[in-house]
């Protein structure tokens, strides 16, 4: 029986971050189109511009995180960094959450969908997870549609999680159960 490496798809592969990713991270995380949608460590700003010092701190936090896996999203054809992803299980390994951020220059080309499949496959096949969630601020309409297209279902929301453009926003919670993931794989 051959072993399939769970972090490599047809178009992208996932790997740990390296110091050479610094410039690319700096540029795409400071792209105005990711304003409020950067999914960086909670100690960092999701809305303020990030300095190179901030980027170094982010890479360091991602590398040393204990209850999460943070992976660079690499385009196989060019070996270019095009985003970042995370699986975190801070409170329960049976119910982790994932996040995926694709550089705006590479969005809407199927890369995020492939990363989602890689993360779901890995998490359901190699961890005790029975439920995987993702948390998306209500103003991120593209993110909501993306989560739904990957099989995630509405699981609730947290009210007034912050302020965006002068108004309170809710954080929407989506999840997918192991049984739903298995059924979706059988349908294909």
pLDDT of residue 43: 82
pLDDT of residue 123: 96
pLDDT of residue 58: 95
- Using CA of residue 64, residue 65, residue 66, residue 71, what is the dihedral sign? negative
Cα 73 to the center of its chain, rounded Å? 10
Report the predicted TM-score, pTM, of the whole model to 2 decimal places: 0.92
Q: Which domains does the chain have, with CATH numbers?
A: 12-187 (3.40.630.30)
Q: pLDDT digits over 44-61, tens only?
A: 888 889 999 999 999 999
Regions of the chain short of the pLDDT cut 50: 1-2, 187-188
Cα distances (angstroms) measured from residue 74 to each of 26, 28, 30, 98, 177: 16, 14, 19, 17, 27
């Amino acid at each position: 029986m051959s072993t399939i490496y769970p972090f490599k798809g047809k178009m992208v592969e996932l790997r740990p971050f390296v110091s050479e990713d610094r410039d690319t991270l700096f540029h795409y995380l400071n792209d105005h189109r990711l304003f409020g949608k950067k999914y960086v460590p909670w100690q960092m700003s999701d809305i303020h511009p990030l300095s190179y010092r901030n980027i170094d701190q982010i890479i360091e936090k991602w590398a040393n995180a204990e209850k999460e896996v943070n992976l660079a999203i690499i385009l196989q054809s060019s070996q270019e960094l095009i985003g970042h992803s995370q699986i975190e299980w801070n409170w329960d390994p049976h119910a982790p959450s994932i996040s995926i951020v694709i550089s705006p220059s590479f969005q809407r080309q199927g890369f995020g969908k492939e990363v989602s499949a890689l993360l779901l496959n890995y998490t359901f096949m190699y961890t005790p997870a029975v439920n995987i969630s993702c948390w998306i601020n209500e103003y991120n309409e593209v993110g909501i549609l993306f989560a739904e297209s990957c099989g995630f279902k509405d699981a609730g929301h947290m009210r007034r999680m912050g302020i965006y453009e002068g108004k309170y926003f809710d954080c929407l919670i989506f999840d997918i159960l192991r049984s739903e993931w298995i059924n979706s794989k059988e349908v294909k």
